[in-house]
Amino acid sequence: MEFNIALLRGDGIGPEIVDSAVDVLKKTAEKFGHKFNFTPYLIGGAAIDETGKSLPDETVEGCLASDSVLLGSVGGPKWDSQPPSNRPEKALLGIRAALGLFTNLRPAKLYSALKEASPLRADIAEKGFDIMIVRELTGGIYFGERGRRNGENGEEAYDTECYSKMEIERIAKVAFETAMKRNKNVISIDKSNVLESSRLWRETVHEMAKDYPEVTLTDMLVDNAAMQIVKNPAQFDVIVTSNMFGDILSDEASQVTGSIGMLPSASLGATKRGMYEPIHGSAPDIAGQNIANPIATILSASMMLRYSFDLEKEADAIDNAVNKFLELGFRTADLAGNTGVKTLSTTEVTEKILELL
Protein backbone atom coordinates (compact mmCIF):
# COMPACT_ATOMS: atom_id res chain seq x y z
CA MET A 1 0.00 0.00 0.00
CA GLU A 2 1.08 3.60 -0.61
CA PHE A 3 0.42 6.59 1.67
CA ASN A 4 1.38 10.28 1.58
CA ILE A 5 2.50 11.68 4.94
CA ALA A 6 2.91 15.39 5.69
CA LEU A 7 5.79 16.13 8.07
CA LEU A 8 5.56 19.10 10.41
CA ARG A 9 8.94 19.03 12.14
CA GLY A 10 8.36 22.34 13.89
CA ASP A 11 10.69 23.77 16.52
CA GLY A 12 13.14 22.77 19.25
CA ILE A 13 13.66 19.00 19.28
CA GLY A 14 10.87 18.57 16.72
CA PRO A 15 13.11 17.99 13.68
CA GLU A 16 15.23 15.40 15.52
CA ILE A 17 12.36 13.31 16.83
CA VAL A 18 10.34 13.46 13.59
CA ASP A 19 13.38 12.31 11.62
CA SER A 20 13.73 9.34 13.99
CA ALA A 21 10.09 8.39 13.45
CA VAL A 22 10.51 8.71 9.68
CA ASP A 23 13.45 6.27 9.80
CA VAL A 24 11.26 3.79 11.69
CA LEU A 25 8.39 4.24 9.23
CA LYS A 26 10.74 3.68 6.29
CA LYS A 27 12.03 0.45 7.83
CA THR A 28 8.46 -0.69 8.56
CA ALA A 29 7.40 0.04 4.98
CA GLU A 30 10.36 -1.96 3.69
CA LYS A 31 9.60 -4.87 6.01
CA PHE A 32 5.91 -5.10 5.09
CA GLY A 33 6.00 -4.06 1.44
CA HIS A 34 4.48 -0.58 1.64
CA LYS A 35 5.50 2.82 0.31
CA PHE A 36 5.36 5.96 2.44
CA ASN A 37 5.92 9.31 0.72
CA PHE A 38 7.05 12.11 3.05
CA THR A 39 6.60 15.83 2.33
CA PRO A 40 7.86 18.43 4.85
CA TYR A 41 5.97 21.64 5.59
CA LEU A 42 6.69 24.58 7.90
CA ILE A 43 4.78 25.26 11.12
CA GLY A 44 5.30 27.24 14.32
CA GLY A 45 8.42 29.27 14.96
CA ALA A 46 10.25 27.77 12.00
CA ALA A 47 7.43 28.98 9.75
CA ILE A 48 7.55 32.46 11.30
CA ASP A 49 11.28 32.69 10.62
CA GLU A 50 10.82 31.60 7.01
CA THR A 51 7.49 33.17 6.01
CA GLY A 52 6.38 35.49 8.82
CA LYS A 53 3.32 33.30 9.50
CA SER A 54 3.11 30.50 12.08
CA LEU A 55 0.75 28.53 9.81
CA PRO A 56 1.41 29.22 6.11
CA ASP A 57 -1.32 28.49 3.58
CA GLU A 58 1.00 26.02 1.85
CA THR A 59 1.17 23.97 5.05
CA VAL A 60 -2.60 23.80 5.38
CA GLU A 61 -3.01 22.83 1.73
CA GLY A 62 -0.28 20.19 1.98
CA CYS A 63 -1.79 18.62 5.08
CA LEU A 64 -5.26 18.56 3.52
CA ALA A 65 -3.80 16.78 0.48
CA SER A 66 -2.01 14.17 2.61
CA ASP A 67 -3.23 10.85 3.99
CA SER A 68 -2.04 11.85 7.46
CA VAL A 69 0.21 14.28 9.34
CA LEU A 70 3.16 13.66 11.68
CA LEU A 71 3.99 16.62 13.95
CA GLY A 72 7.05 17.16 16.14
CA SER A 73 6.61 20.17 18.40
CA VAL A 74 6.18 23.93 18.19
CA GLY A 75 7.16 26.96 20.22
CA GLY A 76 10.01 28.37 22.24
CA PRO A 77 11.08 31.60 23.95
CA LYS A 78 12.49 32.94 20.67
CA TRP A 79 8.96 33.71 19.49
CA ASP A 80 7.43 34.98 22.75
CA SER A 81 7.27 38.50 21.33
CA GLN A 82 4.91 37.44 18.53
CA PRO A 83 1.32 38.74 18.76
CA PRO A 84 -1.14 36.16 20.14
CA SER A 85 -2.64 35.60 16.69
CA ASN A 86 0.74 34.53 15.29
CA ARG A 87 2.24 32.60 18.20
CA PRO A 88 3.63 29.15 17.27
CA GLU A 89 1.02 27.51 19.52
CA LYS A 90 -1.76 29.27 17.60
CA ALA A 91 -0.71 27.26 14.56
CA LEU A 92 -1.75 24.06 16.35
CA LEU A 93 -5.31 25.32 16.80
CA GLY A 94 -5.33 26.47 13.20
CA ILE A 95 -4.19 23.19 11.68
CA ARG A 96 -6.59 21.19 13.89
CA ALA A 97 -9.46 23.37 12.73
CA ALA A 98 -8.40 23.17 9.08
CA LEU A 99 -8.25 19.37 9.25
CA GLY A 100 -11.55 19.10 11.15
CA LEU A 101 -10.00 17.23 14.07
CA PHE A 102 -12.53 16.83 16.89
CA THR A 103 -11.06 13.84 18.74
CA ASN A 104 -7.88 13.57 20.77
CA LEU A 105 -6.55 10.09 21.57
CA ARG A 106 -4.10 10.08 24.48
CA PRO A 107 -2.70 6.69 25.54
CA ALA A 108 -1.25 6.41 29.03
CA LYS A 109 0.67 3.16 29.40
CA LEU A 110 2.89 2.01 32.23
CA TYR A 111 5.60 -0.15 30.68
CA SER A 112 6.68 -3.04 32.87
CA ALA A 113 10.33 -2.10 32.42
CA LEU A 114 9.62 1.44 33.68
CA LYS A 115 7.29 0.72 36.60
CA GLU A 116 9.88 1.93 39.13
CA ALA A 117 9.63 5.40 37.56
CA SER A 118 5.91 5.67 38.34
CA PRO A 119 4.94 7.79 41.35
CA LEU A 120 2.25 5.23 42.17
CA ARG A 121 2.61 2.90 45.14
CA ALA A 122 4.59 -0.21 44.19
CA ASP A 123 1.67 -2.65 44.54
CA ILE A 124 -0.47 -0.49 42.22
CA ALA A 125 2.30 0.00 39.67
CA GLU A 126 2.97 -3.73 39.69
CA LYS A 127 -0.44 -4.37 38.07
CA GLY A 128 0.44 -2.05 35.18
CA PHE A 129 -2.12 -0.19 33.07
CA ASP A 130 -2.82 0.72 29.46
CA ILE A 131 -5.41 3.50 29.16
CA MET A 132 -6.70 5.22 26.04
CA ILE A 133 -8.31 8.57 26.77
CA VAL A 134 -10.71 9.75 24.05
CA ARG A 135 -11.15 13.48 24.57
CA GLU A 136 -13.61 15.67 22.68
CA LEU A 137 -11.47 18.43 21.18
CA THR A 138 -13.57 21.19 19.63
CA GLY A 139 -16.60 21.71 21.88
CA GLY A 140 -17.53 22.34 25.49
CA ILE A 141 -16.52 25.15 27.79
CA TYR A 142 -13.37 26.06 25.85
CA PHE A 143 -15.46 27.01 22.82
CA GLY A 144 -18.72 28.16 24.47
CA GLU A 145 -20.06 31.65 24.95
CA ARG A 146 -17.95 33.68 27.36
CA GLY A 147 -17.59 37.21 28.63
CA ARG A 148 -17.66 39.59 31.55
CA ARG A 149 -20.55 41.48 33.06
CA ASN A 150 -21.70 43.32 36.14
CA GLY A 151 -23.41 41.09 38.67
CA GLU A 152 -24.75 41.37 42.20
CA ASN A 153 -21.22 41.33 43.60
CA GLY A 154 -19.63 43.54 40.95
CA GLU A 155 -17.62 42.42 37.96
CA GLU A 156 -17.92 38.74 37.11
CA ALA A 157 -16.77 36.45 34.30
CA TYR A 158 -18.54 33.49 32.74
CA ASP A 159 -17.75 30.57 30.42
CA THR A 160 -20.46 28.33 29.02
CA GLU A 161 -20.34 24.54 28.73
CA CYS A 162 -22.46 23.51 25.74
CA TYR A 163 -22.58 20.24 23.81
CA SER A 164 -24.86 19.24 20.97
CA LYS A 165 -26.08 15.69 20.63
CA MET A 166 -24.19 15.43 17.34
CA GLU A 167 -20.88 16.34 19.00
CA ILE A 168 -21.41 13.71 21.68
CA GLU A 169 -22.46 11.05 19.18
CA ARG A 170 -19.36 11.44 17.04
CA ILE A 171 -16.92 11.32 19.96
CA ALA A 172 -18.76 8.33 21.46
CA LYS A 173 -18.49 6.54 18.11
CA VAL A 174 -14.70 7.01 18.16
CA ALA A 175 -14.55 5.67 21.72
CA PHE A 176 -16.60 2.56 20.99
CA GLU A 177 -14.71 1.78 17.80
CA THR A 178 -11.41 2.27 19.62
CA ALA A 179 -12.58 -0.11 22.34
CA MET A 180 -13.43 -2.71 19.69
CA LYS A 181 -9.72 -2.74 18.79
CA ARG A 182 -8.72 -3.09 22.43
CA ASN A 183 -10.42 -4.78 25.40
CA LYS A 184 -14.02 -3.75 24.58
CA ASN A 185 -14.52 -1.67 27.70
CA VAL A 186 -15.55 2.02 27.78
CA ILE A 187 -15.84 4.22 30.86
CA SER A 188 -17.70 7.45 30.11
CA ILE A 189 -16.79 10.28 32.45
CA ASP A 190 -19.13 13.18 33.18
CA LYS A 191 -20.61 15.27 36.01
CA SER A 192 -24.25 14.38 35.43
CA ASN A 193 -25.18 14.81 39.10
CA VAL A 194 -24.68 18.57 38.63
CA LEU A 195 -24.39 19.58 34.96
CA GLU A 196 -27.20 19.47 32.39
CA SER A 197 -24.63 19.16 29.59
CA SER A 198 -23.36 16.01 31.31
CA ARG A 199 -26.87 14.60 31.50
CA LEU A 200 -27.22 14.91 27.72
CA TRP A 201 -23.71 13.45 27.43
CA ARG A 202 -24.68 10.38 29.48
CA GLU A 203 -28.00 9.85 27.70
CA THR A 204 -26.38 10.10 24.27
CA VAL A 205 -23.45 7.80 25.06
CA HIS A 206 -25.92 5.17 26.31
CA GLU A 207 -27.91 5.45 23.09
CA MET A 208 -24.73 4.98 21.06
CA ALA A 209 -23.77 1.94 23.15
CA LYS A 210 -26.72 0.02 21.69
CA ASP A 211 -24.81 -0.12 18.39
CA TYR A 212 -21.86 -1.81 20.12
CA PRO A 213 -23.31 -4.72 22.14
CA GLU A 214 -19.86 -6.32 22.53
CA VAL A 215 -18.55 -3.31 24.44
CA THR A 216 -19.13 -2.91 28.18
CA LEU A 217 -20.10 0.66 29.09
CA THR A 218 -19.71 2.13 32.58
CA ASP A 219 -20.44 5.67 33.81
CA MET A 220 -18.14 7.47 36.24
CA LEU A 221 -18.27 10.95 37.72
CA VAL A 222 -15.20 13.03 36.99
CA ASP A 223 -14.20 13.57 40.62
CA ASN A 224 -14.27 9.83 41.24
CA ALA A 225 -12.34 9.23 38.00
CA ALA A 226 -9.56 11.55 39.18
CA MET A 227 -9.23 9.41 42.32
CA GLN A 228 -9.48 6.09 40.50
CA ILE A 229 -6.64 6.94 38.09
CA VAL A 230 -4.23 6.97 41.04
CA LYS A 231 -6.00 4.32 43.11
CA ASN A 232 -6.68 1.64 40.49
CA PRO A 233 -5.66 2.66 36.96
CA ALA A 234 -5.69 -0.95 35.77
CA GLN A 235 -9.52 -0.86 35.68
CA PHE A 236 -9.50 1.55 32.71
CA ASP A 237 -9.38 0.53 29.06
CA VAL A 238 -10.99 3.35 27.03
CA ILE A 239 -12.09 6.58 28.69
CA VAL A 240 -14.37 8.96 26.80
CA THR A 241 -15.02 12.43 28.13
CA SER A 242 -15.52 16.11 27.37
CA ASN A 243 -12.93 18.67 26.37
CA MET A 244 -12.24 20.16 29.81
CA PHE A 245 -12.43 16.89 31.77
CA GLY A 246 -10.24 15.20 29.18
CA ASP A 247 -7.70 18.01 29.31
CA ILE A 248 -7.26 17.52 33.06
CA LEU A 249 -7.51 13.74 33.30
CA SER A 250 -5.14 13.06 30.39
CA ASP A 251 -2.43 15.13 32.10
CA GLU A 252 -3.02 13.26 35.36
CA ALA A 253 -2.82 9.91 33.57
CA SER A 254 0.37 10.90 31.76
CA GLN A 255 2.10 11.69 35.05
CA VAL A 256 1.34 8.35 36.73
CA THR A 257 3.23 6.61 33.91
CA GLY A 258 6.34 8.34 35.23
CA SER A 259 7.63 9.11 31.75
CA ILE A 260 6.21 11.91 29.60
CA GLY A 261 8.84 11.17 26.93
CA MET A 262 7.09 7.89 26.10
CA LEU A 263 3.60 9.19 25.41
CA PRO A 264 2.15 9.68 21.90
CA SER A 265 -1.16 11.19 20.83
CA ALA A 266 -3.51 11.40 17.87
CA SER A 267 -6.04 13.99 16.77
CA LEU A 268 -8.76 12.60 14.49
CA GLY A 269 -11.78 13.84 12.57
CA ALA A 270 -14.50 12.42 10.37
CA THR A 271 -12.02 11.04 7.81
CA LYS A 272 -9.11 8.62 8.18
CA ARG A 273 -6.66 11.52 8.00
CA GLY A 274 -5.32 12.45 11.43
CA MET A 275 -2.50 14.38 13.05
CA TYR A 276 -0.07 12.47 15.26
CA GLU A 277 2.32 14.01 17.78
CA PRO A 278 4.13 13.37 21.07
CA ILE A 279 2.57 15.07 24.09
CA HIS A 280 5.81 16.64 25.33
CA GLY A 281 6.92 20.11 24.27
CA SER A 282 9.67 21.47 22.06
CA ALA A 283 12.36 21.38 24.80
CA PRO A 284 14.45 24.18 23.27
CA ASP A 285 17.05 23.78 26.05
CA ILE A 286 18.19 20.43 24.61
CA ALA A 287 17.47 21.04 20.93
CA GLY A 288 20.28 20.06 18.59
CA GLN A 289 22.15 18.07 21.25
CA ASN A 290 21.05 14.63 20.01
CA ILE A 291 19.80 13.63 23.48
CA ALA A 292 16.01 13.96 23.06
CA ASN A 293 13.90 10.85 23.57
CA PRO A 294 12.28 10.06 20.19
CA ILE A 295 10.09 7.20 21.44
CA ALA A 296 6.88 9.22 21.92
CA THR A 297 7.12 10.35 18.30
CA ILE A 298 7.92 6.84 17.09
CA LEU A 299 4.85 5.58 18.97
CA SER A 300 2.82 8.42 17.43
CA ALA A 301 3.86 7.07 14.03
CA SER A 302 2.68 3.64 15.17
CA MET A 303 -0.70 5.15 16.06
CA MET A 304 -0.86 6.63 12.57
CA LEU A 305 -0.43 3.19 11.06
CA ARG A 306 -3.10 1.75 13.35
CA TYR A 307 -5.79 4.43 13.29
CA SER A 308 -5.38 6.15 9.91
CA PHE A 309 -4.00 3.38 7.69
CA ASP A 310 -5.48 0.27 9.38
CA LEU A 311 -2.05 -1.37 9.38
CA GLU A 312 -2.40 -3.31 12.63
CA LYS A 313 0.50 -5.76 12.20
CA GLU A 314 2.83 -2.96 11.22
CA ALA A 315 1.85 -0.90 14.27
CA ASP A 316 2.30 -3.95 16.49
CA ALA A 317 5.80 -4.43 15.09
CA ILE A 318 6.83 -0.91 16.11
CA ASP A 319 5.22 -1.22 19.54
CA ASN A 320 6.94 -4.57 20.12
CA ALA A 321 10.30 -3.11 19.12
CA VAL A 322 9.88 -0.31 21.65
CA ASN A 323 8.87 -2.81 24.34
CA LYS A 324 11.93 -4.94 23.60
CA PHE A 325 14.16 -1.86 23.66
CA LEU A 326 13.00 -1.09 27.20
CA GLU A 327 13.15 -4.70 28.39
CA LEU A 328 16.78 -4.93 27.26
CA GLY A 329 17.58 -2.05 29.61
CA PHE A 330 18.30 0.67 27.07
CA ARG A 331 17.50 4.15 28.31
CA THR A 332 17.53 7.78 27.23
CA ALA A 333 18.57 10.53 29.65
CA ASP A 334 14.98 11.25 30.71
CA LEU A 335 14.34 7.57 31.48
CA ALA A 336 17.58 6.83 33.35
CA GLY A 337 17.08 9.26 36.23
CA ASN A 338 19.74 8.69 38.88
CA THR A 339 20.23 4.99 38.14
CA GLY A 340 23.68 5.44 36.64
CA VAL A 341 22.66 3.51 33.52
CA LYS A 342 24.51 4.53 30.37
CA THR A 343 22.14 6.64 28.30
CA LEU A 344 21.70 6.54 24.55
CA SER A 345 21.52 9.48 22.17
CA THR A 346 18.55 10.15 19.90
CA THR A 347 20.44 8.57 17.01
CA GLU A 348 21.43 5.51 19.05
CA VAL A 349 17.85 4.97 20.25
CA THR A 350 16.64 5.07 16.66
CA GLU A 351 19.30 2.63 15.52
CA LYS A 352 18.46 0.15 18.31
CA ILE A 353 14.73 0.26 17.54
CA LEU A 354 15.46 -0.23 13.84
CA GLU A 355 17.53 -3.32 14.73
CA LEU A 356 14.70 -4.68 16.86
CA LEU A 357 12.17 -4.20 14.06
DSSP-H helix ranges across 233-294: 243-256
Burial class (CB in 10 A: 0-12, 13-18, 19+), 240: buried
Catalytic annotation, pick one of 251, 319, 324, 352:
251
Catalytic residue among 27, 191, 237, 334: 191
SS3 of 123, please?
helix
Residue 345's identity, in one-letter code, is S
Q: Catalytic one among 11, 67, 190, 247?
A: 247
Strand 154-159 relative to strand 35-40: parallel, antiparallel, unpaired? unpaired
Q: Out of 19, 78, 115, 142, which one is annotated catalytic?
A: 142
Distance CA 176, CA 205 (A): 10
Q: Is 159 a catalytic residue?
A: no
Which of 57, 80, 211, 223 is an active site residue?
A: 223
Reading phi first (left if > 0) and then psi (alpha if -120 to 50, else beta), residue 137 is in: alpha
Instruction: Give the list of residues 6+ apart from residue 101 with CB closer than 8 angstroms, or none.
Output: 137, 138, 267, 268, 269, 274, 275
Contact 225, 239 (CB under 8 A): yes
Active site residue 23: no
From residue 290, how far is each of 7, 96, 261 by CA, in Å? 19, 29, 14
Q: Is 142 a catalytic residue?
A: yes
Dist. CA 263–CA 130, nearest whole Å: 11
Q: Which of 316, 318, 314, 346 is nearest to 330 (CA)?
A: 346
Identify whether 223 is a catalytic site residue: yes
Amino acid in position 86: N
Q: Is 211 noted as a catalytic residue in this protein?
A: no
Helices marked H in the chain — which ranges?
A: 14-32, 45-51, 57-64, 88-99, 122-125, 165-180, 196-209, 222-231, 243-256, 295-303, 312-327, 333-336, 346-356
Q: Is 5 left (phi over 0), alpha (psi -120 to 50) or beta?
A: beta
Tell me the catalytic residues.
142, 191, 223, 247, 251
